[in-house]
Copies of this chain bind each other. A is one copy, B any other.
Amino acid sequence: MINKFVSRAVDALADVVDGAVILVTGFGDPGMPFRLVEALVELGPRNLTIVSNNAGRALEGIAMLLRRGQVKKMICAYPRRTGSFVFEECYARGEVELELVPQGTLCERIRAAKAGIAGFYTPTAVDTVLAAGKEVREIDGQRCLLEYPLHADFALVRAHLADRWGNLVYQAAQRNFGPVMAGAARRTIAEVDAMVELGGLDPEAIVTPGIYVDQVVTL
């Protein structure tokens, strides 16, 4: 019988090695898999590359990974927000590298990894400092940047409910990066409020099909 539930977050993440690239869902607090990120703090792998819209707040989630010196590089759209003092300190001291990516391009690069697209052209960020070093091509009269997929080792995804096949549904704006990051890494681990029986999710309303999810941890 297929059963993707694992009882402890630290078991699901036990083989995260130093230098791993990890996708973390969330736009602000909604969608942030706090329990899984706490498990990363507990397990202590270092030199991580964290891909997430923001760079943590207060001493929670990604901020704690940064405080513990586990993060080599952040790939984000919006690392600065109210309470992001840990990231700001690490950044000011040069302790963490930042790759700033426009949010739409960030989503699309992650989707490309999930969907087997090897590269794409986007008009976003043309003529800006974020185009530095990128190949430019004019297509149909519009100058575009060539962007590549953002591959990762793990995707940590926060959702609302899951069944034992790993099918997921979300709650409101918690969804954000979940359906994009799930399946974009070699292994996807979801953190959910509760598990439901197989058949407990409407096949028409499943947002992330279980094929993209390897393991599920409940709160």
- A residues in contact (CB < 8 Å) with B: 108, 112, 115-123, 137, 139-140, 142, 144, 148, 169-172, 202-205, 207
Contact = CB atoms under 8 A, between A and B. Distances in A.
B148 A119 contact: no
A147 to B, nearest CB: 10
A108 B117 contact: yes
Contact of A121 (B118, B140, B169, B205): B118
B118 A119 contact: no
A169 B204 contact: yes
Nearest to A112: B120
Contacts of A123: 116, 118
Nearest to A207: B204
A172 B203 CA distance: 8
B120 A119 contact: yes
Contacts of A140: 118, 148
A66 B144 CA distance: 38
A202 to B, nearest CB: 7
Contact of A139 (B122, B148, B172, B202): B148
